[in-house]
């Protein structure tokens, strides 16, 4: 059905059209790999013209970036949801475990972080060029998270928050990127559940976590609010592309 010019110009219509584009791109990225698809392929699958894709996403790299951001925001929202169920879920080892589970449940995140790591580098460069401020804010929020944990005695106090965050990030990255490298060499890799257990234990030990119930209950609402704020900011950035007016 051909939409009227008026409906195409409405924010809701633009957002719905962008969602069709993002869905089509995500499906193709998983099915064929990011390097094997074109904007024409995405437009065809979404049932629109090639030029319409560019109304929302100026380049293929930006389109891929927003696909990734949408998947990440969904995984982050699940972390926030889990945090809301129990104070212990705010500990880094639990956040890390939930993040790994979310990645396992997301085909697009598995494709970018595990099956096609070269694409991750390209998307990182695009993210810096397109949304460097958002990246800075997300990193700031994560450092603020470790500030809160350290302040409440929930992680080791002998390291500054930025170094605690460094341990957290590099540990998770290693558990994401290293298994495919081992598999390519024919080496044994623990199954997904076991890898999550190992990552949880590594984070718990290296960050010196404390499970003090009173401290957890005190920090709980602050941490949940911080993570929820991060999710809302990412969603706002995605909406900037979904409702952009270029027509």
For residue range 158-211, list pLDDT tens digits in order: 999 999 999 999 999 888 888 877 888 888 888 989 999 999 999 999 999 999
SS3 assignment, position 53: helix
Q: Which two tokens stand for residue 114?
A: 């595990």
Half-sphere exposure of 11 (CA within 13 A, CB side): 3
Cα 39 to Cα 54: distance, rounded to the nearest angstrom: 9
SS3 assignment, position 51: helix
Compute the C-alpha angle 13/19/25, nearest 5°. Answer: 140
* CB distance 223 to 152 below 8 Å: no
Cα 28 to Cα 108: distance, rounded to the nearest angstrom: 10
Best CA proximity match to 135, nearest among 146, 147, 153, 123 = 123
Cα 207 to Cα 201: distance, rounded to the nearest angstrom: 10
CATH topology of domain 1-57: Arc Repressor Mutant, subunit A (1.10.10)
For residue range 236-246, list pLDDT tens digits in order: 988 888 887 56
Class of CATH domain 72-240: mainly alpha
Total-model pTM: 0.83
* CB distance 9 to 247 below 8 Å: yes
CATH 1.10.357 range(s) for the chain read 72-240
For residue range 20-66, list pLDDT tens digits in order: 999 999 999 888 877 788 999 999 999 999 999 999 998 888 898 89
CATH 1.10.10.60 range(s) for the chain read 1-57
CA distances from 61 to 50, 113, 123, 194, 216 (A): 15, 16, 7, 34, 41
* CB distance 211 to 26 below 8 Å: no
SS3 assignment, position 160: coil
Q: State the pLDDT confidence band at 247, using cuts at 50, 70 and 90.
A: low
């Amino acid at each position: 059905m051909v939409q009227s010019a008026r409906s195409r110009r409405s924010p809701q219509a633009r957002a719905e059209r962008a969602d069709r584009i993002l869905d089509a791109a995500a499906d193709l990225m998983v099915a064929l790999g990011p390097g094997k698809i074109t904007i024409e392929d995405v437009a065809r699958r979404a049932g629109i013209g090639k030029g319409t894709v560019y109304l929302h996403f100026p380049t293929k790299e930006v389109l891929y970036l927003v696909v990734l951001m949408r998947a990440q925001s969904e995984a982050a929202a699940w972390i926030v949801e889990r945090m809301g169920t129990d104070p212990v879920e705010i500990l880094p080892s639990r956040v890390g475990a939930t993040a790994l589970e979310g990645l396992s449940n997301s085909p697009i995140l598995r494709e970018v972080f595990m099956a096609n790591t070269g694409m991750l580098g390209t998307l990182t460069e695009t993210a810096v060029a397109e949304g460097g401020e958002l990246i800075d804010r997300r990193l700031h929020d994560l450092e603020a998270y470790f500030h809160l944990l350290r302040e409440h005695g929930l992680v080791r106090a002998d390291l500054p928050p930025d170094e605690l965050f460094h341990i957290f990030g590099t540990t998770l990255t290693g558990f994401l990127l290293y298994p495919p490298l081992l598999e390519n060499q024919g080496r044994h890799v623990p199954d997904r559940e076991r890898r999550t257990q190992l990552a949880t234990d590594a984070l718990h030990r290296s960050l010196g976590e404390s499970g003090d119930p009173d401290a957890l209950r005190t920090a709980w609402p602050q941490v949940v609010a911080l993570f929820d704020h991060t999710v809302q900011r990412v969603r706002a950035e995605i909406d900037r592309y979904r409702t952009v007016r270029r027509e």
